[in-house]
Amino acid sequence: MVRHKKIQNHPHTGQTGLNDYDPQELTFALKALANRLGICKVGIAPAVRDEHFADRFREWLDRGYHGGMQWLAARQAERCDLLQYFPEARSVVSVALNYYTPPQDPRPKLKISNYALGEDYHAVLKRGLFQMLGLVREYYPEVKSRVCVDTSPVSDKLWARRAGLGWIGKNTNLITRELGSWLFLGELIIDIPLSYDETEMNDYCGSCQACLHACPTKALVEPYVLDARKCISYLTIEHRGDIAPELSANFDGWIYGCDICQQVCPWNIKFQQESDHPAFQPRQEILDFTGSYELPLKETLFKKLFRGNPVKRTGPERMERNIRSALKALDENG
């Protein structure tokens, strides 16, 4: 039985709800459902602008650190102010899902980032978020919403931090005390109030700079600042065209993404846990590919191997480029 409580006027639109519900009860129900869905962490923050984030993001863009990711600059205003993306927004439900799986033994010469060995996380996480939205509609059928997983003009890490899930570390990843940083993040944004987790977590990186020292291309130009133009993940996934030899010489076998700054993080070394989600278990055919690749890489083989997997977005041409760059570096480095 749903207990009712009147919705207050929206501070920006003045809009009132079309029926009544209990925000505290709905919040409890959402978190219980997230737990049943296997979501590791969930927190809720009010949808308000973060001036500090906006200033830092603008500075980051001005320094050109986004490289060729022009969509980040194109929708800068929305990333800096959620209400420009979704004016009715009142609550942001942030969720985190553990994807970590231990390295294979023996480790392959060519490496694909841990997150890209199983099913595409966009689909997995969206399924859970839409189930949570379904629950909200049981309480409030007229709800307006957005479900965001990585592709919307929304900063996943910002909202996860604001919801108390963790802190943004010096490697620019969200780090949690319970699981480290091997997490997929997503949001359910709705136009009704909930009970908020407004206590942001402290930064527990301390004096550690393991990630900065370990990055082979020096992409972490200072604590908490990443120059994507030097980042192996950016270069192997987003970058189009040739890769500068002085950067590809340090690829260390990575052909899609890179986990180095996470692998050396003390919070991961101590607290990482193997994911029990079946969708994120490594596909054997992908593991086999890293040990017995074929060049030239045929499009039909690429599509078969990476169907329903994050790697598909890079395409066979760029994947072949990455493989050749990594092999050349491994050969030259002995």
- The fraction of the chain above a pLDDT of 90, given in percent, is 85
CB 112 within 8 A of CB 283: no
Known catalytic residue at 252: no
pLDDT in tens, 290-313: 888 888 999 999 999 999 999 999
pLDDT in tens, 224-244: 999 999 999 999 999 999 999
pLDDT in tens, 100-121: 999 887 788 899 999 999 999 9
CB 200 within 8 A of CB 166: no
Pick the catalytic residue from 62, 105, 150, 242: 150
**pTM assigned to the model:** 0.91
105 is written with which tokens? 């033994």
